[in-house]
């Protein structure tokens, strides 16, 4: 009788301490962003934790909370903050100008996860014709997500801040395909602080109807059959 192959179950959702040198591969549900080990981030993002640095002069510190309307809890989401007039992109938490999106090489070589709530991870180009180095050439001037009208998109923790100069600004955020995207314009004076809360309302609840993402299930828990190959 043929022996049954050995099977081993691997858990991919192990906790990682902030001070640990161990990293893990993460798939952010509903975002399409994969974060891996290597520290390879450029001018497009923030990798250092906020260390209580003083607020720059002539800026307003805007504290955003992105909240699930059903649970009342803050939730990770993809977002973009732009100047409402010029469409210039600013990145949390220091409000630096986004000079370029992430490159293909940066995505594939890996991005080191940072637990700081103000860390935004990779910045993905969403509008305009580019080239194979910014993952946009295949879109032929069309956005990769039909409703996304801003130049880029990046992940947020759902509870973060950004320092912005005086003017009129716009934030757009998305919490996956089952929630209605949110967008809001706001004006600031360039001083003090401001708190803003954006609510994500469900468009449809597919798990409640018996539908589950196969990708999420496979990424969270894999069963590997050890027969000489994976």
The DSSP bridge pattern shows strands 193-200 and 60-68 to be parallel
Would you state the pLDDT for residue 145?
64
Please count the CA atoms within 13 angstroms of the CA of 190 that sit on its side-chain side: 6
For residue 71, what are its two tokens? 């649970």
Would you state the pLDDT for residue 148?
80
- In tens, the pLDDT along 110-149 reads 888 889 999 998 999 888 777 778 866 666 666 666 668 8
Q: For a pLDDT cut of 70, what percent of the chain falls above it?
A: 64
Would you state the pLDDT for residue 40?
29
Residue for token pair 């590997």: 224
Q: pTM (2 decimals)?
A: 0.69
More confident site: 87 or 131: 87
Compute the distance between CA of residue 35 and CA of residue 112 in angstroms, rounded to an integer: 7
DSSP characters over 60-110: EEEEEEEEETTT--B--EEEEEEETTT--EEETTTTEE--S---HHHHHH-
* Per-residue pLDDT band at 9 (split at 50, 70, 90): very low
* Per-residue pLDDT band at 105 (split at 50, 70, 90): confident
Q: Mind listing the domains of the chain with CATH numbers?
A: 7-225 (2.60.40.10)
CA angle 51, 67, 183 (to 5 degrees): 95
- In tens, the pLDDT along 147-192 reads 688 899 999 999 999 999 999 999 999 998 899 999 999 999 999 9
- In tens, the pLDDT along 15-26 reads 333 333 323 333
Contact between 214 and 80 (Cβ < 8 Å): no
Compute the distance between CA of residue 137 and CA of residue 168 in angstroms, rounded to an integer: 31
Would you state the pLDDT for residue 77?
96
More confident site: 108 or 194: 194
Contact between 163 and 95 (Cβ < 8 Å): yes
Would you state the pLDDT for residue 139?
63
- pLDDT exceeds 60 at position 98: yes
């Amino acid at each position: 009788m043929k022996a049954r192959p050995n099977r081993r179950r691997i858990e991919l959702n192990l906790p990682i301490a902030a001070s640990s040198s161990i990293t893990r591969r993460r798939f952010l549900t509903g975002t399409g962003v994969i974060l891996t080990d290597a520290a390879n981030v450029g001018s497009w993002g923030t990798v250092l934790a906020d260390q209580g640095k003083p607020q720059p002069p002539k800026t307003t510190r805007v504290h955003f909370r992105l909240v699930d309307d059903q649970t009342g809890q803050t939730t990770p989401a993809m977002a973009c903050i732009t100047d409402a007039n010029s469409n210039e992109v600013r990145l949390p938490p220091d409000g630096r100008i986004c000079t370029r999106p992430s490159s293909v090489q940066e995505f594939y070589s890996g991005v080191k996860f940072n637990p700081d709530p103000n860390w935004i991870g990779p910045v993905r180009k969403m509008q305009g014709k580019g080239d194979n180095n910014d993952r946009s050439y295949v879109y032929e001037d069309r956005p990769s997500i039909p409703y996304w009208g801003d130049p880029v998109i990046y992940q947020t923790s759902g509870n973060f801040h950004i320092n912005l100069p005086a003017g009129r600004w716009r934030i757009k955020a998305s919490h996956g395909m089952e929630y209605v995207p949110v967008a809001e314009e706001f004006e600031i004076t360039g001083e003090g602080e401001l708190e803003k809360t954006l609510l994500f309302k469900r468009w449809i609840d597919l798990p409640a109807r018996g539908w589950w993402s196969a990708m999420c299930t496979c990424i969270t828990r894999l069963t590997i059959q050890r027969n000489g190959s994976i």
